[in-house]
Amino acid sequence: MSDSGIGFSVKRFVIFIVLCAIAILVFEGMGEVGGNMIKDQVSRTTSKFHPEKNVEDRIKPAFVLEDKVAVASAASDSDASTADLWTAEDSCEQVIEGNDMLQFNIKEMKVSAACASVTVTLKHTGVMAAEIMGHNWVLSSDANFMPVATAAAGAGLENNYVPVGDDRVLASTAIIGGGQEISVTFSIQGLSAANAYTFFCSFPGHYAIMKGAFKVID
């Protein structure tokens, strides 16, 4: 037992070394966690403004779309006739507005079969550029709406997102940006009150929301 003091010191020394090792590991771990947190924060902050990252987030309507949809569904629940709020007057001259929130202001157009020609004027009431939030007005039969809308993305902005030489496109305007206005005049002689037609914006992704019924009435 005479060397118990030395044995005790050795034990303490070993414990001290082990504690040191644990402390070093803990500090390294904390450093790594902290470093990663900073790295994450930096990448989140900088990628927000990167031209090729988070594009969807930046052009996504923040809240107004939900508002409008809620109002529209509430109205149609209470009274079916209030759907006319979204319907343009029966006229050979149609005016429709598009905005920065991916919306047309009407969901239905009615034109008389007696119209010698129909003029549709599209006004972009927003401020965003054509490359970011461009709108056009394209008309096709209901049956051709989806195929044309899908093919439109491949046509590119240089062709106003309208398939070139595609006779499924009954009428179309160029793509415009915020503050701009454009018109198209076309004959509806080939259209029939018996058929269903759809108008839409062919800017990629917009047709899902920016569309409506084009009705020819006798």
Which residues of the shown chain bind Co ion in the complex (CB under 5 A)? 135, 201, 203, 206, 210
Using left for φ > 0, alpha for ψ between -120 and 50, and beta otherwise, residue 156 falls in left
Which of 123, 135 has the CB closer to Co ion? 135
**Nearest residue to Co ion, using CB?**
201
Least separation, in Å, of the C-beta of 196 and Co ion?
Answer: 21
Which of 103, 144 has the CB closer to Co ion? 103
Least separation, in Å, of the C-beta of 201 and Co ion?
Answer: 3
Which of 112, 159 has the CB closer to Co ion? 159
Q: Tokens in use for 124?
A: 């972009």
Least separation, in Å, of the C-beta of 187 and Co ion?
Answer: 25
Which of 133, 216 has the CB closer to Co ion? 133
Count the Cβ atoms, other than its own, within 10 Å of residue 201.
28
b/e code 113-152 from CB counts within 10 Å (16+ = b): eebeebbbbbbbbbebebeebbbbbbbbbeebbeebbebb
Least separation, in Å, of the C-beta of 86 and Co ion?
Answer: 17
